[in-house]
Amino acid sequence: MDDFTKPAVDCFVESMYSGEVDKLEKGIFEEVNKMAHVFDVSWLTKRCIKFYKTNVLQFENNSYNEILFACEIASRAHSILKQSYYVRLFVRNIASREISKTIFLQRYMADFAELSKRQIDMSLVVAGNDSNIVISSLITHVAKTHKCKKLDKNSLYLLQSINVQEFRQNFPVDYNATVNFLAEVADVSESSEVKGIVKKFAETSCGNASSSSSTDAVKDGEMDCDEEIETIIVCDETDFEENAEVGSQTDCNEVEHGWTQPVYSKEYFFLDGESVQLITTANVINGYISL
């Protein structure tokens, strides 16, 4: 128990005696959830999931920091505790609230070199079928940071983790432009690893197998995870009401407000005052190479 803060331990111990989680707060939520997982307290695990849904995912100000907080909790729960249902709840929630994943991810991935593998995996899951969002972030990073002359470890990890076949099918123009861009980088690189990964990425156009990563477990297990959530959380029929009918929504279908209905190259302001400018993969690449 030395790995946990006193407030978290107090909350956990009191809940063991009372069967309630009156002291559970956002600041200690992850620790309490981890203790429930480590000590296999199933009823507390259920309460933690419900707390995440009813407290953490209820963005009072719809601010970036609120969404980032919920995103990181979900990502760590999946990476450390193998609890993929937090990721599913997060992705469903931002879709049901019509929060633009394009705007969120451009900011989340802005400091690309500092992203952990866990955060790159989470970015791929949040992007879903819109994998061009993460590719745009990669290209911007390689062009601005490395002047199109090298691919760092995060760039290589993303290229190996992304579902290349899916990216090519959904965004053929962006895929071809990306292949051309990466080919130019590989030409000036002395790394055999870079050349090999770029070659594999490009060979997907010939019908070769696509890349895969730990994120596939979240995607492929969607139905199992949905059933698991329904089993874990004993709730009334309205418990998932705000997540109902959330399919593969895209930004073009979203309702216009601060987070939605993005128009590329237009500047958008978050409700906490910060801004971001949207760009497409093709826009990015056009600035660096001749297509």
Our CA angle for 188, 190, 192, nearest 5°, is 120
Structural tokens at position 81: 């505790």
Tell me how far apart the alpha carbons of residues 235 and 238 are, in angstroms, rounded to a whole number: 8
Residue 199: how many other CB atoms lie within 10 Å: 12
Q: Cβ contacts of residue 201 below 8 Å, gap of 6+? A: 159, 164, 178, 179, 182, 211
The pTM for the full model equals 0.76
The three-state secondary structure class of 115 is: coil
Could you give phi then psi for residue 269, rounded to 5 degrees? -110, 130
Query: If we measure between CA atoms, which residue out of 67, 75, 110, 9 comes closest to residue 271?
Result: 67
Structural tokens at position 268: 């958008």
Query: With contact defined as beta carbons under 8 Å apart, do 132 and 281 qualify?
Result: yes
Tell me how far apart the alpha carbons of residues 226 and 87 are, in angstroms, rounded to a whole number: 11
Please name the helix (run of DSSP H) or strand (run of DSSP E) that holds residue 275, with its range, or none. Answer: strand 275-277
Tell me how far apart the alpha carbons of residues 61 and 271 are, in angstroms, rounded to a whole number: 7
**N-terminal to C-terminal alpha carbon distance within the chain:** 58
Could you give phi then psi for residue 276, rounded to 5 degrees? -150, 150
Task: List the chain pLDDT tens, one digit each, 291 residues.
Answer: 668 999 999 999 999 999 999 999 999 999 999 999 999 999 999 999 999 999 999 998 889 999 999 999 999 999 999 999 999 999 999 999 888 999 999 999 999 999 999 999 999 999 999 999 999 999 999 999 988 889 999 999 999 999 999 999 999 999 999 999 999 999 999 999 999 999 999 997 555 444 555 565 565 554 344 555 544 443 333 333 333 333 333 333 333 334 433 444 444 444 444 544 444 455 555 555 433
3-class secondary structure per residue, 153-168: HHHHHHHHHCCHHHHH
Tell me how far apart the alpha carbons of residues 208 and 125 are, in angstroms, rounded to a whole number: 22
Positions of E strands within 211-274: 267-269
Q: What is the pLDDT of residue 282?
A: 54
